[in-house]
């Protein structure tokens, strides 16, 4: 098969072309492209390029992923979209203020320049970043997993998605009020801040958490496995998936009707609450309750066994605490009422009025 001739390809293009797409052509260099003044999109991804030529001023979208780039040229001022993942970049040049989306995953970048005011999407996973620059007020999505980040900057209220897993974080800053998705797995977190009321997904597995904050009603998915939790807070009514395996949980709260998946294996559960009708999957192996209920694939059988077991538990505790309940009822309710009513002071208080009928008071007393 004839090899691709990049120079011949460019010569055959019109000078008025607005797009140049050269994907998977096994090219090692890209000639100058200054003679395409109207060029708005350049896609040279999946090649073997080690550098890029000077970029035209009107360029808006640049795709140069999956190459061998060690550095980038000066970026055009009108650039809005930069996708340069899977290269060998150690740093990136100053970013134009019009840039809205920046994808620099899977490089060896140590730090980032100041972020442009219009930036909305920042993807910098799998680098060597220790600190992020100040986040601008328009950013909506931040993906910075698999770095060496020690702490995050202040998070603006515009942020809706925060993915910061597999770093060296020991705490998180205050969360934005509009945050919908939070992934902070595989860090060293010992606690979480108050959660946003709009949060739908929370992934905080493999940390050092001993408790969780109150969960918002909007939450649909919770993954808190591989921590040091001994209990869970009240579950929101909208939750559909709960992953709390590999903790030290002694009991589970009541399960909302919408929940469909429950993974609570490897804990210290001696019983489970009744399972909702909509539940399709449950896994509770390696818990004390396994001695009473077999963890198999028959969800209907598991539900009926748990309900029966809970009935016996209820009956057992009713019998066990019957006498205690009677004592509490007497000491806390009946006895104080009787003592108040039949105390001599009660009679004195009713006889203060000179016009009162003594016989009536005595009979009622």
Residue ranges for the chain with pLDDT beneath 50: 1
Instruction: Tell me, yes or no, whether 230 lies in a domain.
Output: yes
Instruction: Tell me, yes or no, whether 250 lies in a domain.
Output: yes
146 CB burial (10 A radius; 0-12, 13-18, 19+): buried
CATH number for the domain spanning 243: value is 3.80.10.10
345-360 burial: b if 16+ Cβ within 10 Å, else e: eeeeeeeeeeeeeeee
pLDDT score for 312: 77
The maximal CA–CA distance of the chain, rounded, in angstroms, is 122
Residues 6+ apart with CB under 8 A from 32: 53, 54
Instruction: Tell me, yes or no, whether 160 lies in a domain.
Output: no
Instruction: Tell me, yes or no, whether 22 lies in a domain.
Output: no
Residue 351: strand, helix, or coil: coil
Instruction: Tell me, yes or no, whether 268 lies in a domain.
Output: yes
Same domain assignment for residues 283 and 352: no
Cα gap 168→203, rounded to integer Å: 16
Residue pair 160/181 in contact (Cβ under 8 Å)? The answer is yes
Cα gap 85→93, rounded to integer Å: 15
Helix or strand (DSSP H, E) at 21: strand 19-21
pLDDT score for 363: 66
Instruction: Tell me, yes or no, whether 352 lies in a domain.
Output: yes
Cα gap 226→256, rounded to integer Å: 23
Instruction: Tell me, yes or no, whether 338 lies in a domain.
Output: yes
pLDDT score for 359: 67
Same domain assignment for residues 225 and 277: yes
Q: Which domain holds residue 246?
A: 210-306
pLDDT score for 273: 94
pLDDT score for 358: 61
Which pTM value belongs to this model?
A: 0.86
Residues 6+ apart with CB under 8 A from 89: 69, 70, 71, 72, 104, 107, 108, 109
Same domain assignment for residues 279 and 358: no
Cα gap 49→28, rounded to integer Å: 5
Same domain assignment for residues 328 and 298: no
Same domain assignment for residues 299 and 330: no
Residue pair 192/171 in contact (Cβ under 8 Å)? The answer is no
Question: What's the number of domains the chain is made of?
Answer: 2
Cα gap 44→28, rounded to integer Å: 11
**Is the four-CA dihedral 153, 156, 157, 162 of positive or negative sign?**
negative
Same domain assignment for residues 248 and 328: no
pLDDT score for 82: 98
Instruction: Tell me, yes or no, whether 340 lies in a domain.
Output: yes
């Amino acid at each position: 098969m004839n090899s691709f001739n990049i120079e011949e390809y460019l010569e055959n293009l019109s000078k008025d072309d607005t797009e140049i797409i050269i994907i998977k052509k096994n090219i090692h260099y890209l000639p100058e492209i200054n003679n395409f003044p109207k060029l708005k999109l350049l896609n040279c991804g999946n090649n073997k390029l080690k550098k890029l030529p000077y970029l035209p001023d009107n360029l808006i979208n640049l795709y140069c992923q999956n190459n061998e780039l060690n550095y980038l040229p000066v970026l055009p001022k009108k650039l809005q979209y930069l996708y340069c993942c899977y290269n060998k970049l150690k740093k990136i040049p100053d970013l134009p203020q019009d840039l809205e989306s920046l994808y620099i995953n899977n490089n060896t970048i140590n730090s980032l320049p100041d972020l442009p005011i219009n930036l909305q999407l920042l993807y910098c996973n799998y680098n060597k970043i220790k600190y992020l620059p100040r986040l601008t007020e328009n950013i909506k999505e931040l993906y910075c997993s698999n770095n060496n980040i020690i702490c995050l900057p202040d998070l603006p209220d515009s942020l809706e998605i925060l993915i910061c897993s597999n770093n060296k974080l020991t705490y998180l800053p205050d969360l934005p009020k509009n945050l919908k998705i939070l992934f902070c797995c595989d860090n060293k977190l010992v606690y979480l801040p108050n959660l946003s009321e709009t949060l739908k997904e929370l992934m905080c597995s493999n940390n050092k958490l001993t408790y969780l904050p109150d969960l918002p009603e909007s939450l649909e998915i919770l993954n808190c496995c591989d921590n040091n939790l001994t209990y869970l807070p009240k579950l929101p009514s909208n939750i559909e998936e709960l992953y709390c395996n590999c903790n030290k949980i002694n009991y589970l709260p009541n399960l909302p009707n919408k929940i469909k998946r429950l993974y609570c294996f490897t804990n210290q559960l001696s019983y489970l609450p009744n399972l909702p009708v909509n539940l399709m999957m449950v896994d509770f192996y390696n818990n004390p309750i396994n001695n009473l209920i077999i963890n198999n694939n028959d969800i209907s059988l598991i539900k009926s066994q748990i309900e029966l077991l809970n009935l016996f538990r209820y009956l057992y505790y009713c019998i066990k605490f019957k006498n205690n309940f009677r004592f509490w009822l007497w000491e806390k309710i009946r006895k104080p009422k009787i003592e108040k009513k039949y105390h001599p002071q009660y009679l004195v208080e009713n006889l203060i009025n000179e016009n009162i009928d003594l016989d009536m008071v005595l009979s009622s007393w």
